[in-house]
Amino acid sequence: MPPRVKEGKIIMSKTYEISGMKCQGCANAVTEKLSAVKGVEEVRVDIEKNQVTIEGKSWKWSLSRALKGSKYELGNEVK
């Protein structure tokens, strides 16, 4: 997905597979955990596709670490 521009800044977007989600409550928990990661500007979860899209500047290991100890696990980047 190409970067988008928001308020004059280029915003990078990456989509990852995510496991462990079954309902909107799960999606809300994932959104809350990933939104707390430094550099994350927006989180969009797609329960049906088991994917999460992250906008902003963040490292995959930071995102995975935010989910550590939960039933959710970040997978491969979706190209």
What average pLDDT does this structure show over 44-54? 96
Gap between the Cα atoms of 52 and 79, Å rounded? 13
Please tell me the predicted confidence (pLDDT) of residue 3.
Answer: 62
Q: Which CATH class is domain 4-78?
A: alpha beta
Please tell me the predicted confidence (pLDDT) of residue 10.
Answer: 67
pTM for this model (two decimals): 0.86
* 63 and 34 Cβ atoms separated by less than 8 Å: yes
Query: Does residue 60 register a pLDDT over 90?
Result: yes
Token couple for 35: 């939104």
* 74 and 60 Cβ atoms separated by less than 8 Å: yes
* 76 and 14 Cβ atoms separated by less than 8 Å: no
CB atoms within 10 A of CB 18: 23
